[in-house]
Structure 1
Amino acid sequence: MKKLFSFIACCLLAACSSHQPGEISGSLSGVGSDTLIVHSFVMNLASTERPKLYTDTVPLVNGKFSLNLGNSTDLRYVQIGEFPSSKSNPDGSRPSVSMEVIPLVLLPGKSVTIEGSLHKYKLGGAPFYESLNELNTKMEPIVQKMDSLYSAYREKTQEGASQEEIQKVAAQIEKGQKDIKDTYIRFIKDHADQDVSVYLLTHGALKDDELKELLDLIAEPVRNGVMAPMYQSIKQAYEKQEERRKAQEKIKEGAPAPEFTLKDIHGKDFTLSSLKGKYVILDFWGSWCGWCIKGIPDLKQVYEKYKGQLEIVGIDCNDTEEKWKAAVEKHALPWIHVRNEGNPDVTLLYGIEGFPTKIILDKEGNIVKTVVGEDPEFYKHLDALMKK
């Protein structure tokens, strides 16, 4: 058994020294388990589907580990954490699992090494990771201070300290959060000609105007280089948010509802204006949305109650075609259903940010009421409207 253990350890050590493309390896201390769990997904901008999440478990032998995720030509997001231990405590219970994780991006054709602990570590293998180490060094005193402030806030809250004392600590936390964001912004500006700057755009809770400024600062070679998928993804998300914000300025009570034409569940064109002369409910929903499904019985009652006066248009959001059609059939939804595939993206057209969202239109196609979430007030408002 000892020989087998030594053989495995030697294999791991050999693997750690070879640094093949797509490999993550290194040494971690303080892990309360003999196994790591690694979640990863390929960042493929060309696909509109949600990325497939891969999960691997990796043995820790004397604190050392190695895993090869393959030499992908795409960026791969990776998160490394502690897997529940296979060993029990003397009392028969299982050791608690650390919630700390190491997040990183695996560059195409590169390897990365990790040395340290889940809480404090250094990355190696490419200049990209060295830059992250530089940032982590700058962030360390701020993070330590924030940890102390969070602990102080919890203690004062639990001890029943005065609101004045609690608010004083809260103000320090708010200042610390600003320091963190400012540190990220300065670092991105100072490294705008490096790949790491794109990765850091997803950090620091940036406001829209701050994000826009930094997107414009990123050097052209970086935008079009290995980080192009991430840059384009961030840029598109920002542009969609801007489009949604501008739409929300127009989606007001009394304003005309934006026109759209989408394919219905039978593959035929449906145009919103074809329903003029009736009250209309636009129901933005998805089979994945628990509150959407919970509200179906009430929506069915309304549809039956006002049949002939009212039409409902269910707008599929963030579903596959198969799941959408299956949900319509399973719940026997008798109203009009259209598929929102993004051309146009009706959720952006109407500034939708939460699900379900229901919008009531009058007989002339003007917006009467918008309600986000499953709220009884929606039905009270509809009943009052239909009695007019």
Structure 2
Amino acid sequence: MKQHLKALVLVLVVGGLAVWAFNHFFMSKVSQSPSNISAIEKMETEGVPNFTSKALEGQSFDLNQMKGKVVILNFWASWCGPCVEEVPSLIKLIKEYKGEIQLIAVSGDSNEADIHVFLKSFPELKGENIKIVYDQDRSLMKMFEVARLPESLILNKDQKLVKKLVGSIDWHTKDSLEYMDSLLGKTK
């Protein structure tokens, strides 16, 4: 009986130490690394990080050039069904606002040729207020911590994050238009 009692005490001590070590290790990792929530909060309060990129047409631009306009930073790929599904309503939204809203469509495709094939189906994506970016090295996706496609960030005129959308949506609904109007300071 004494041996069973000693074994039980030993198991409890080792188990307690294991739980303490796990909690200590886990808590130190949480306090050392910023969470997604703090990154989102930082983009909401301080603004999104500026970046310079090259559109498919060849012209370079940086995000700061778009201050004063609402920007939709849309991460997509030609092979992504939900991405393809939302493109027509996204184009319609951008056209309706005639330059007040800018679209930066960041492609996660594995090669640029796939993007050009995709654009044959949606030639209006080559519009005036739309920039198509091939994120070949996935640096923009990493910068904005994109987890899945499609994912969109809506930035206000000060380039602060006001909404993060994960998944496909209909961009041209009454609610969407009212929301965009509110970001642009329009009253009806």
Q: TM-score, normalised by structure 1?
A: 0.35
Question: 1:265 aligned to 2:60?
Answer: no
- Counterpart position of 1:177: none
1:340 equivalent to 2:135? Answer: yes
Instruction: Kindly state the Cα deviation for residue 250 of structure 1 after the two structures are TM-superposed.
Output: 1.3
Deviates more, 1:377-386 or 1:348-357: 377-386
* Letter matched to residue 324 of structure 1: I
Q: Report how far residue 247 of structure 1 moved.
A: 5.6
Could you list the runs of 5+ residues in structure 1 that have no partner in the other structure? Answer: 1-208, 211-242
Q: Which of 234, 249, 263 in structure 1 is aligned with 2:38?
A: 249
Match of 1:280, as an amino acid? V
For the residue of structure 1 that corresponds to 2:72, the secondary structure is strand
User: Is 1:351 matched with 2:145?
Assistant: yes
1:114-172 alpha-carbon deviations (Å, 9 max, x no partner): xxxxxxxxxxxxxxxxxxxxxxxxxxxxxxxxxxxxxxxxxxxxxxxxxxxxxxxxxxx
Tell me how far apart the structure 2 counterparts of residues 357 and 378 of structure 1 sit (CA, whole Å): 17
Alignment of 1:136-215 (within 5 A): none
Partner Cα separation in structure 1 for residue 63 and residue 57 of structure 2: 16
Shift in Å, 1:304: 1.3
Deviation at 1:278, TM superposition (A): 0.6
Residues 278 and 311, structure 1, Cα contact 8 Å, conserved in 2: yes
2:95 to 298, 304, 313: 304
Distance 2:80 2:136 in 1: 17
Deviations 1:164-184 (A, max 9, x none): xxxxxxxxxxxxxxxxxxxxx
Distance 2:116 2:37 in 1: 29
- Within-5 A mapping of 1:281-296: 281-296=72-87
Q: Supply the AA of the counterpart residue of 1:340.
A: D
Q: What are the ranges of 5 or more consecutive residues in structure 2 without an aligned counterpart?
A: 1-24, 27-32
2:143 maps to 1:325: no
Please tell me the residue identity of whatever aligns with 2:181.
M
The AA in structure 1 aligned to 2:51 is: F
Amino acid at match of 2:180: L
Large movers: runs of 4+ above 3 Å: 245-248, 252-255, 376-379
Aligned to 1:367: 161
- Which structure features the higher share of helix residues? 2
| d(CA) in 1 for partners of 2:35, 2:110 | 25
Deviation at 1:283, TM superposition (A): 0.7
Match of 1:189 in 2: none
Paired with 1:381 and 1:256, the residues of 2 have a C-alpha distance of: 22
CA contact (8 A) 2:73 2:152 kept: yes
Question: Any idea what the Cα deviations from partners look like across 1:233-286, whole Å, max 9, x if unmatched?
Answer: xxxxxxxxxx9x756531233440111112210222221111111111001000
What aligned pairs does 1:17-166 form with structure 2 within 5 A after superposition? none
Hey, what's the Cα distance between the residues in 2 that align with 1:382 and 1:358?
16
Letter in 2 for 1:373: G
**What corresponds to 1:384 in structure 2?**
179
Partner Cα distance (2:132, 2:91) in 1: 14
Contact 2:71 2:104 (C-alpha < 8 Å) held by counterparts: yes
* Secondary structure of 2:162's aligned partner: strand
Give how far 1:377 is off: 8.0
Deviation of 1:306 after TM superposition, in Å, equals: 0.9
What is the SS of the residue equivalent to 2:157?
A: coil
Match of 2:5 in 1: none
> Which amino acid is 1:315 matched to?
V
- Structure 2 counterpart SS, 1:328: helix
Q: Are the counterparts in 2 of residues 279 and 310 from structure 1 also a CA contact under 8 Å?
A: yes
Q: Given the superposition, is the C-alpha separation of residues 382 and 281 from structure 1 closer, same or farther in structure 2, using an over 3 Å criterion?
A: farther
SS at match of 2:164: strand
- d(CA) in 2 for partners of 1:256, 1:262: 18
The count of corresponding residues between Structure 1 and Structure 2 is 147
> What is the percent sequence identity of the aligned residues?
27
Contact conserved, 1:247 with 1:350, CA < 8 A, in 2?
no
1:325–1:318 distance in 2 versus 1, CA, 3 Å: same
